[in-house]
Protein backbone atom coordinates (compact mmCIF):
# COMPACT_ATOMS: atom_id res chain seq x y z
CA UNK A 1 0.00 0.00 0.00
CA UNK A 2 2.73 2.44 1.00
CA UNK A 3 4.85 1.42 -2.00
CA UNK A 4 1.92 2.08 -4.36
CA UNK A 5 1.27 5.50 -2.82
CA UNK A 6 4.95 6.45 -3.15
CA UNK A 7 5.02 5.22 -6.77
CA UNK A 8 1.90 7.25 -7.62
CA UNK A 9 3.36 10.33 -5.93
CA UNK A 10 6.63 9.97 -7.86
CA UNK A 11 4.74 9.47 -11.13
CA UNK A 12 2.61 12.55 -10.51
CA UNK A 13 5.68 14.62 -9.65
CA UNK A 14 7.51 13.44 -12.78
CA UNK A 15 4.45 14.19 -14.94
CA UNK A 16 4.05 17.67 -13.46
CA UNK A 17 7.76 18.37 -13.91
CA UNK A 18 7.67 17.21 -17.53
CA UNK A 19 4.58 19.34 -18.25
CA UNK A 20 6.20 22.41 -16.71
CA UNK A 21 9.36 21.75 -18.73
CA UNK A 22 7.29 21.42 -21.91
CA UNK A 23 5.42 24.66 -21.21
CA UNK A 24 8.69 26.48 -20.61
CA UNK A 25 10.14 25.17 -23.88
CA UNK A 26 6.92 26.01 -25.72
CA UNK A 27 7.07 29.62 -24.48
CA UNK A 28 10.70 29.89 -25.58
CA UNK A 29 9.96 28.50 -29.05
CA UNK A 30 6.88 30.71 -29.38
CA UNK A 31 8.98 33.79 -28.56
CA UNK A 32 11.63 32.70 -31.09
CA UNK A 33 8.94 32.15 -33.73
CA UNK A 34 7.58 35.68 -33.26
CA UNK A 35 11.08 37.15 -33.30
CA UNK A 36 11.99 35.26 -36.48
CA UNK A 37 8.76 36.44 -38.13
CA UNK A 38 9.59 40.06 -37.29
CA UNK A 39 13.18 39.59 -38.46
CA UNK A 40 12.07 38.11 -41.80
CA UNK A 41 10.02 41.26 -42.51
CA UNK A 42 12.66 43.72 -41.31
CA UNK A 43 14.87 45.77 -43.64
CA UNK A 44 17.86 43.77 -42.40
CA UNK A 45 16.54 40.72 -44.27
CA UNK A 46 14.58 42.36 -47.07
CA UNK A 47 17.20 44.84 -48.34
CA UNK A 48 20.12 43.12 -50.08
CA UNK A 49 22.82 45.61 -48.99
CA UNK A 50 22.03 45.12 -45.27
CA UNK A 51 21.67 41.38 -45.66
CA UNK A 52 25.00 40.99 -47.43
CA UNK A 53 26.76 43.22 -44.91
CA UNK A 54 25.57 41.07 -41.98
CA UNK A 55 25.52 37.60 -43.55
CA UNK A 56 27.35 35.85 -40.70
CA UNK A 57 25.24 37.26 -37.85
CA UNK A 58 21.80 38.21 -39.16
CA UNK A 59 20.01 34.80 -39.00
CA UNK A 60 17.83 35.79 -41.97
CA UNK A 61 17.95 32.34 -43.54
CA UNK A 62 16.48 30.77 -40.42
CA UNK A 63 13.87 33.54 -40.17
CA UNK A 64 12.79 32.94 -43.77
CA UNK A 65 12.49 29.19 -43.14
CA UNK A 66 10.22 29.99 -40.18
CA UNK A 67 8.16 32.35 -42.35
CA UNK A 68 7.77 29.75 -45.11
CA UNK A 69 6.71 27.09 -42.59
CA UNK A 70 9.77 24.88 -43.20
CA UNK A 71 10.70 24.79 -39.51
CA UNK A 72 8.78 22.97 -36.79
CA UNK A 73 5.96 24.84 -35.16
CA UNK A 74 6.60 26.02 -31.57
CA UNK A 75 4.51 23.09 -30.27
CA UNK A 76 6.38 20.56 -32.41
CA UNK A 77 9.78 21.97 -31.44
CA UNK A 78 8.84 21.92 -27.74
CA UNK A 79 7.60 18.32 -27.98
CA UNK A 80 10.76 17.24 -29.81
CA UNK A 81 13.01 18.97 -27.28
CA UNK A 82 11.10 17.52 -24.30
CA UNK A 83 11.18 13.99 -25.70
CA UNK A 84 14.88 14.27 -26.58
CA UNK A 85 15.58 14.98 -22.89
CA UNK A 86 14.41 11.41 -22.17
CA UNK A 87 17.25 9.93 -24.25
CA UNK A 88 19.87 7.99 -22.31
CA UNK A 89 22.67 10.27 -23.45
CA UNK A 90 20.56 13.43 -23.35
CA UNK A 91 20.25 16.04 -26.06
CA UNK A 92 23.35 15.95 -28.26
CA UNK A 93 24.88 13.01 -26.37
CA UNK A 94 26.55 15.27 -23.81
CA UNK A 95 25.64 13.08 -20.83
CA UNK A 96 27.41 10.04 -22.29
CA UNK A 97 30.37 12.12 -23.41
CA UNK A 98 30.83 13.51 -19.90
CA UNK A 99 30.43 10.07 -18.32
CA UNK A 100 33.03 8.50 -20.62
CA UNK A 101 35.39 11.43 -20.01
CA UNK A 102 35.03 11.06 -16.25
CA UNK A 103 35.58 7.31 -16.49
CA UNK A 104 38.71 7.71 -18.59
CA UNK A 105 40.05 10.42 -16.27
CA UNK A 106 39.56 8.25 -13.20
CA UNK A 107 40.27 4.83 -14.72
CA UNK A 108 43.94 4.60 -13.68
CA UNK A 109 43.32 5.32 -9.97
CA UNK A 110 40.30 3.01 -10.08
CA UNK A 111 42.37 0.23 -11.68
CA UNK A 112 45.10 0.62 -9.06
CA UNK A 113 42.51 0.54 -6.28
CA UNK A 114 40.94 -2.59 -7.80
CA UNK A 115 44.30 -4.36 -7.97
CA UNK A 116 45.05 -3.45 -4.34
CA UNK A 117 41.64 -4.70 -3.18
CA UNK A 118 41.98 -7.95 -5.16
CA UNK A 119 45.49 -8.52 -3.80
CA UNK A 120 44.27 -7.93 -0.23
CA UNK A 121 41.42 -10.39 -0.79
CA UNK A 122 43.83 -13.01 -2.17
CA UNK A 123 46.17 -12.63 0.82
CA UNK A 124 43.25 -12.83 3.24
CA UNK A 125 41.88 -15.99 1.61
CA UNK A 126 45.32 -17.61 1.53
CA UNK A 127 45.90 -16.71 5.20
CA UNK A 128 42.56 -18.17 6.15
CA UNK A 129 43.23 -21.40 4.22
CA UNK A 130 46.62 -21.84 5.89
CA UNK A 131 45.27 -21.07 9.36
CA UNK A 132 42.51 -23.64 8.85
CA UNK A 133 45.07 -26.22 7.74
CA UNK A 134 47.27 -25.54 10.78
CA UNK A 135 44.31 -25.65 13.15
CA UNK A 136 43.10 -29.01 11.82
CA UNK A 137 46.55 -30.60 12.18
CA UNK A 138 46.33 -32.44 8.90
CA UNK A 139 48.87 -35.19 8.21
CA UNK A 140 52.08 -33.86 6.72
CA UNK A 141 51.51 -35.78 3.52
CA UNK A 142 48.29 -33.85 2.81
CA UNK A 143 48.42 -31.35 -0.07
CA UNK A 144 46.45 -28.85 2.05
CA UNK A 145 49.16 -28.72 4.71
CA UNK A 146 51.56 -25.83 3.99
CA UNK A 147 55.20 -26.77 3.57
CA UNK A 148 56.47 -23.36 4.70
CA UNK A 149 54.55 -21.08 7.01
CA UNK A 150 54.21 -17.54 5.46
CA UNK A 151 55.36 -14.54 7.52
CA UNK A 152 51.82 -13.23 8.00
CA UNK A 153 50.60 -16.33 9.81
CA UNK A 154 50.93 -16.10 13.58
CA UNK A 155 50.70 -19.24 15.64
CA UNK A 156 50.75 -19.90 19.38
CA UNK A 157 54.35 -21.14 19.26
CA UNK A 158 55.62 -17.75 17.93
**Domain identity same for 53 and 111:** no
Q: What is the pLDDT of residues 91-144, one digit of tens each?
A: 777 777 777 777 777 777 777 888 899 999 999 998 888 777 777 765 555 665
Secondary structure, 3-state, 41-87: HCHHHHCHHHHHHCCCCCCHHHHHHHHHCCCCCHHHHHHHHHHHCCC
Please indicate, yes or no, whether residues 16 and 62 belong to a single structural domain of this protein: yes
Other C-beta atoms within 10 Å of 79: how many? Answer: 16
Q: Do 24 and 80 fall into the same domain?
A: yes
Provide the residue range defining the domain that includes 131.
93-158
Distance between CA atoms of 68 and 46, rounded to whole angstroms? 14
- Structural domain count of the chain: 2
Its pTM stands at 0.53
Amino acid sequence: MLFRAVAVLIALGWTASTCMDFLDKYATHQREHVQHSVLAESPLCTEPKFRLATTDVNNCDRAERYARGEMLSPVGAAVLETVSDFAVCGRGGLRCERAVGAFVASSFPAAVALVVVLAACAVFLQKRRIEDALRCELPLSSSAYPAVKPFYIATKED
